[in-house]
Amino acid sequence: MVFEPPQRLVRALGETAPEGDDWLEKLPETAHEAVAQRELTVERVQVPGGRSSLVVLVRTADGTPAVLKLAPRRARPGSERAALAHWGGLGAVRLLERASGAAEGVLLLERLHPDVSVRSLPEAKALLEAAGTLRRLWVDPPEGHGFETVAERTERQARAMRASAAADPEVAPLVEAALAVRDELLAAPPEHRLLHGTFRQSKVLAGERTPWLAVGPDPVVGEHAFDLARLVRDRVEDLIAQASGAATTRRRVKRLAESLEVDRERLSGWTLFRAVESGVRARRVGREQDAELLLEFAGWL
Protein backbone atom coordinates (compact mmCIF):
# COMPACT_ATOMS: atom_id res chain seq x y z
CA MET A 1 0.00 0.00 0.00
CA VAL A 2 1.12 3.56 -0.71
CA PHE A 3 1.20 5.62 2.50
CA GLU A 4 0.43 9.02 1.01
CA PRO A 5 0.20 11.67 3.75
CA PRO A 6 -3.03 13.72 3.55
CA GLN A 7 -2.58 17.28 2.29
CA ARG A 8 -3.84 18.65 5.61
CA LEU A 9 -0.88 17.01 7.34
CA VAL A 10 1.59 18.13 4.67
CA ARG A 11 0.46 21.76 4.97
CA ALA A 12 0.45 21.81 8.77
CA LEU A 13 3.86 20.20 9.17
CA GLY A 14 5.26 22.43 6.46
CA GLU A 15 4.40 25.45 8.63
CA THR A 16 6.44 24.17 11.57
CA ALA A 17 9.18 22.03 10.02
CA PRO A 18 12.68 22.92 11.23
CA GLU A 19 15.46 23.41 8.71
CA GLY A 20 16.49 20.11 7.13
CA ASP A 21 13.61 18.08 8.56
CA ASP A 22 12.92 15.01 6.42
CA TRP A 23 10.23 13.25 8.45
CA LEU A 24 7.57 13.59 5.74
CA GLU A 25 9.98 12.37 3.09
CA LYS A 26 10.75 9.24 5.11
CA LEU A 27 7.15 8.68 6.24
CA PRO A 28 6.16 6.03 3.64
CA GLU A 29 9.21 3.93 4.53
CA THR A 30 8.59 4.39 8.26
CA ALA A 31 4.95 3.36 7.87
CA HIS A 32 5.79 0.22 5.86
CA GLU A 33 8.36 -0.78 8.48
CA ALA A 34 5.93 -0.21 11.38
CA VAL A 35 3.23 -2.28 9.68
CA ALA A 36 5.60 -5.15 8.86
CA GLN A 37 7.10 -5.30 12.37
CA ARG A 38 3.66 -5.61 13.95
CA GLU A 39 2.18 -7.92 11.29
CA LEU A 40 -0.66 -5.51 10.68
CA THR A 41 -3.19 -5.52 7.86
CA VAL A 42 -3.78 -2.03 6.48
CA GLU A 43 -7.31 -0.89 5.72
CA ARG A 44 -6.82 2.79 4.86
CA VAL A 45 -5.14 6.05 5.75
CA GLN A 46 -7.51 8.32 7.67
CA VAL A 47 -8.41 11.40 5.59
CA PRO A 48 -8.38 14.33 6.15
CA GLY A 49 -6.63 13.16 9.32
CA GLY A 50 -4.84 15.33 11.83
CA ARG A 51 -2.32 18.16 11.57
CA SER A 52 0.56 16.50 13.40
CA SER A 53 0.48 12.77 12.59
CA LEU A 54 -0.41 10.11 10.05
CA VAL A 55 -3.31 7.92 11.20
CA VAL A 56 -3.74 4.51 9.58
CA LEU A 57 -6.67 2.16 10.22
CA VAL A 58 -5.30 -1.36 10.60
CA ARG A 59 -6.04 -4.82 11.99
CA THR A 60 -3.68 -6.76 14.21
CA ALA A 61 -2.56 -10.32 13.47
CA ASP A 62 -5.59 -11.69 15.34
CA GLY A 63 -8.01 -9.45 13.44
CA THR A 64 -8.52 -6.81 16.14
CA PRO A 65 -9.32 -3.35 14.68
CA ALA A 66 -6.64 -0.84 15.68
CA VAL A 67 -5.06 2.47 14.72
CA LEU A 68 -1.41 2.98 13.82
CA LYS A 69 -0.31 6.54 14.50
CA LEU A 70 3.01 7.96 13.28
CA ALA A 71 4.20 11.36 14.47
CA PRO A 72 7.40 13.40 14.17
CA ARG A 73 9.50 14.07 17.27
CA ARG A 74 8.35 17.70 17.49
CA ALA A 75 4.78 16.42 18.09
CA ARG A 76 6.08 14.77 21.32
CA PRO A 77 4.73 11.24 20.67
CA GLY A 78 6.71 9.90 23.62
CA SER A 79 4.84 12.23 25.92
CA GLU A 80 1.53 11.16 24.37
CA ARG A 81 2.41 7.50 24.95
CA ALA A 82 3.31 8.17 28.58
CA ALA A 83 0.01 9.98 29.22
CA LEU A 84 -2.10 7.29 27.54
CA ALA A 85 -0.30 4.63 29.56
CA HIS A 86 -0.99 6.56 32.78
CA TRP A 87 -4.69 7.02 31.98
CA GLY A 88 -4.97 3.32 31.13
CA GLY A 89 -8.03 3.80 28.95
CA LEU A 90 -9.98 5.84 31.52
CA GLY A 91 -11.46 8.70 29.52
CA ALA A 92 -8.93 8.26 26.70
CA VAL A 93 -8.14 5.89 23.87
CA ARG A 94 -6.35 2.76 25.06
CA LEU A 95 -2.70 2.19 24.19
CA LEU A 96 -2.24 -1.31 22.72
CA GLU A 97 1.55 -1.25 22.71
CA ARG A 98 3.36 -0.12 25.85
CA ALA A 99 6.55 1.93 25.77
CA SER A 100 8.83 -1.06 26.17
CA GLY A 101 10.16 -1.99 22.74
CA ALA A 102 7.92 0.53 20.97
CA ALA A 103 9.56 2.61 18.25
CA GLU A 104 9.79 6.34 18.84
CA GLY A 105 7.01 8.17 17.06
CA VAL A 106 4.87 5.05 16.46
CA LEU A 107 1.78 4.31 18.56
CA LEU A 108 -0.62 1.38 18.22
CA LEU A 109 -4.01 2.37 19.60
CA GLU A 110 -7.48 1.06 20.21
CA ARG A 111 -9.78 1.68 17.23
CA LEU A 112 -12.55 4.16 17.91
CA HIS A 113 -14.99 5.57 15.35
CA PRO A 114 -12.69 8.05 13.57
CA ASP A 115 -15.46 9.83 11.70
CA VAL A 116 -17.75 10.38 14.71
CA SER A 117 -16.74 13.08 17.21
CA VAL A 118 -18.84 15.02 19.69
CA ARG A 119 -18.92 17.81 17.10
CA SER A 120 -21.66 15.73 15.44
CA LEU A 121 -23.95 16.52 18.41
CA PRO A 122 -25.94 19.73 18.95
CA GLU A 123 -23.67 22.34 20.52
CA ALA A 124 -25.03 22.23 24.08
CA LYS A 125 -24.90 18.42 24.18
CA ALA A 126 -21.44 18.40 22.59
CA LEU A 127 -20.04 20.72 25.25
CA LEU A 128 -21.60 18.62 28.02
CA GLU A 129 -20.17 15.35 26.72
CA ALA A 130 -16.76 16.88 26.01
CA ALA A 131 -16.55 18.40 29.47
CA GLY A 132 -17.49 15.09 31.08
CA THR A 133 -14.74 13.33 29.14
CA LEU A 134 -12.18 15.95 30.11
CA ARG A 135 -12.99 15.61 33.81
CA ARG A 136 -11.96 11.94 33.73
CA LEU A 137 -8.51 12.84 32.41
CA TRP A 138 -7.65 15.21 35.27
CA VAL A 139 -5.60 12.93 37.50
CA ASP A 140 -2.38 13.33 39.46
CA PRO A 141 0.65 12.89 37.18
CA PRO A 142 2.92 9.90 37.86
CA GLU A 143 5.69 10.48 40.37
CA GLY A 144 8.89 11.68 38.73
CA HIS A 145 7.04 12.45 35.49
CA GLY A 146 8.79 14.14 32.59
CA PHE A 147 5.79 16.04 31.27
CA GLU A 148 6.12 19.69 30.33
CA THR A 149 4.40 22.08 32.75
CA VAL A 150 1.97 24.84 31.83
CA ALA A 151 4.58 27.39 32.96
CA GLU A 152 7.22 25.86 30.66
CA ARG A 153 4.96 25.53 27.65
CA THR A 154 3.51 29.01 27.91
CA GLU A 155 6.95 30.56 28.43
CA ARG A 156 8.02 29.07 25.11
CA GLN A 157 4.84 30.42 23.53
CA ALA A 158 5.25 33.82 25.21
CA ARG A 159 8.69 34.29 23.62
CA ALA A 160 7.21 33.75 20.16
CA MET A 161 4.30 36.08 20.98
CA ARG A 162 6.66 38.87 22.04
CA ALA A 163 8.59 38.48 18.80
CA SER A 164 5.35 38.63 16.78
CA ALA A 165 4.20 41.75 18.62
CA ALA A 166 7.52 43.47 17.97
CA ALA A 167 7.21 42.76 14.25
CA ASP A 168 3.46 43.42 14.03
CA PRO A 169 2.28 46.38 16.18
CA GLU A 170 -1.35 45.68 15.27
CA VAL A 171 -1.40 42.62 17.56
CA ALA A 172 0.75 44.19 20.31
CA PRO A 173 -2.12 45.33 22.61
CA LEU A 174 -3.72 41.87 22.68
CA VAL A 175 -0.36 40.18 23.17
CA GLU A 176 0.45 42.54 26.05
CA ALA A 177 -2.90 41.78 27.70
CA ALA A 178 -2.46 38.02 27.24
CA LEU A 179 1.04 38.04 28.69
CA ALA A 180 -0.06 40.09 31.70
CA VAL A 181 -2.88 37.61 32.39
CA ARG A 182 -0.44 34.71 32.09
CA ASP A 183 1.85 36.23 34.71
CA GLU A 184 -1.06 36.62 37.12
CA LEU A 185 -2.34 33.09 36.58
CA LEU A 186 1.06 31.46 37.03
CA ALA A 187 1.61 33.24 40.36
CA ALA A 188 -0.75 30.92 42.26
CA PRO A 189 -2.04 27.89 40.31
CA PRO A 190 -4.75 26.04 42.27
CA GLU A 191 -3.68 22.52 41.24
CA HIS A 192 -1.10 20.53 39.29
CA ARG A 193 -2.83 17.75 37.39
CA LEU A 194 -2.14 15.82 34.23
CA LEU A 195 -3.97 17.63 31.41
CA HIS A 196 -4.84 16.67 27.85
CA GLY A 197 -3.15 19.83 26.60
CA THR A 198 -4.96 20.33 23.30
CA PHE A 199 -8.53 19.39 24.14
CA ARG A 200 -11.47 20.30 21.91
CA GLN A 201 -14.61 18.66 20.56
CA SER A 202 -12.89 17.04 17.59
CA LYS A 203 -10.55 15.26 20.04
CA VAL A 204 -13.45 13.27 21.52
CA LEU A 205 -14.45 10.24 19.42
CA ALA A 206 -17.18 7.65 19.77
CA GLY A 207 -16.05 4.30 21.19
CA GLU A 208 -17.39 0.83 21.89
CA ARG A 209 -16.45 0.27 25.54
CA THR A 210 -17.63 3.76 26.51
CA PRO A 211 -19.57 6.31 24.45
CA TRP A 212 -16.84 8.98 24.18
CA LEU A 213 -13.05 8.85 24.54
CA ALA A 214 -10.35 11.48 24.10
CA VAL A 215 -7.59 11.12 21.52
CA GLY A 216 -4.49 13.05 20.47
CA PRO A 217 -3.24 14.55 23.74
CA ASP A 218 -0.25 16.86 23.93
CA PRO A 219 -0.04 16.34 27.70
CA VAL A 220 1.02 19.01 30.13
CA VAL A 221 0.88 19.36 33.91
CA GLY A 222 -0.94 22.31 35.42
CA GLU A 223 -4.34 23.68 36.37
CA HIS A 224 -7.72 22.56 35.06
CA ALA A 225 -8.61 25.99 33.64
CA PHE A 226 -5.73 25.80 31.15
CA ASP A 227 -7.10 22.56 29.68
CA LEU A 228 -10.69 23.78 29.56
CA ALA A 229 -9.74 27.06 27.84
CA ARG A 230 -9.38 25.53 24.38
CA LEU A 231 -12.89 24.07 24.60
CA VAL A 232 -14.37 27.54 25.20
CA ARG A 233 -13.57 28.66 21.68
CA ASP A 234 -14.77 25.51 19.90
CA ARG A 235 -16.70 26.28 16.71
CA VAL A 236 -15.22 29.79 16.84
CA GLU A 237 -16.34 30.47 13.28
CA ASP A 238 -19.97 29.99 14.40
CA LEU A 239 -19.45 32.29 17.40
CA ILE A 240 -17.99 35.05 15.22
CA ALA A 241 -20.90 34.74 12.78
CA GLN A 242 -23.45 35.37 15.55
CA ALA A 243 -24.52 38.90 16.43
CA SER A 244 -24.56 37.68 20.05
CA GLY A 245 -21.20 35.91 19.79
CA ALA A 246 -19.54 37.83 22.63
CA ALA A 247 -22.47 37.21 25.01
CA THR A 248 -22.60 33.54 23.99
CA THR A 249 -18.90 33.21 24.74
CA ARG A 250 -19.31 34.70 28.21
CA ARG A 251 -22.21 32.34 28.92
CA ARG A 252 -20.10 29.42 27.73
CA VAL A 253 -17.27 30.38 30.08
CA LYS A 254 -19.74 30.59 32.96
CA ARG A 255 -21.42 27.27 32.14
CA LEU A 256 -18.20 25.33 31.68
CA ALA A 257 -16.60 26.84 34.78
CA GLU A 258 -19.59 25.93 36.91
CA SER A 259 -20.00 22.40 35.50
CA LEU A 260 -16.34 21.52 36.11
CA GLU A 261 -15.87 23.57 39.29
CA VAL A 262 -13.23 25.83 37.75
CA ASP A 263 -12.76 29.48 38.71
CA ARG A 264 -14.49 31.56 36.04
CA GLU A 265 -11.91 34.35 35.97
CA ARG A 266 -9.04 31.89 35.63
CA LEU A 267 -10.85 30.14 32.78
CA SER A 268 -11.48 33.45 31.04
CA GLY A 269 -7.82 34.42 31.49
CA TRP A 270 -6.41 31.22 30.04
CA THR A 271 -8.96 31.37 27.20
CA LEU A 272 -7.64 34.84 26.35
CA PHE A 273 -4.01 33.74 26.45
CA ARG A 274 -4.56 30.62 24.35
CA ALA A 275 -6.69 32.42 21.77
CA VAL A 276 -4.12 35.20 21.33
CA GLU A 277 -1.26 32.70 21.15
CA SER A 278 -3.08 30.70 18.46
CA GLY A 279 -4.06 33.86 16.61
CA VAL A 280 -0.59 35.36 16.37
CA ARG A 281 0.85 31.95 15.45
CA ALA A 282 -1.70 31.62 12.63
CA ARG A 283 -0.83 35.10 11.43
CA ARG A 284 2.89 34.32 11.56
CA VAL A 285 2.49 31.37 9.15
CA GLY A 286 0.09 33.14 6.80
CA ARG A 287 -3.27 31.71 7.91
CA GLU A 288 -4.89 35.12 7.89
CA GLN A 289 -8.52 34.00 8.10
CA ASP A 290 -7.85 31.83 11.16
CA ALA A 291 -5.87 34.65 12.74
CA GLU A 292 -8.68 37.18 12.27
CA LEU A 293 -11.28 34.86 13.82
CA LEU A 294 -9.08 34.05 16.83
CA LEU A 295 -8.00 37.61 17.52
CA GLU A 296 -11.56 38.92 17.22
CA PHE A 297 -12.68 36.21 19.64
CA ALA A 298 -9.87 37.13 22.04
CA GLY A 299 -11.05 40.75 22.00
CA TRP A 300 -14.33 39.64 23.63
CA LEU A 301 -12.64 38.26 26.75
Here the CATH number for the domain that contains residue 55 is 3.30.200.20
Q: How far is CA 300 from the centre of its chain?
A: 23
Is 3 a residue whose pLDDT tops 80?
Answer: no
Is residue 2 domain-resident? no
Same domain, 141 and 211: yes
Let me know if 200 is exposed, middle or buried by CB neighbors in 10 A (0-12, 13-18, 19+): buried
Strand partners, 143: none
pLDDT per position as a tens digit, 262-300: 999 999 999 999 999 999 999 998 999 999 999 999 999
Q: How far apart are CA 85 and CA 88, in angstroms?
A: 5
Could you report the per-residue pLDDT of 61-70, keeping only the tens digit for each?
999 999 999 9
Domain span at residue 185 reads 117-298
pTM reported for the whole predicted model: 0.94
How far, in Å, CA of 95 to CA of 82, rounded?
10
pLDDT score of 48 more than 50: yes
What is the three-state SS of 91-151? CECCECCCCCCCCCCEEEEECCEEEEEHHHCCHHHHHHHHHHHHHHHCECCCCCCCCCEHH
Last residue of a domain, one of 66, 90, 111: 111
For residue range 194-219, list pLDDT tens digits in order: 999 999 999 999 999 999 999 999 99
Same domain, 19 and 59: yes
CATH number for the domain harbouring residue 159? 3.90.1200.10
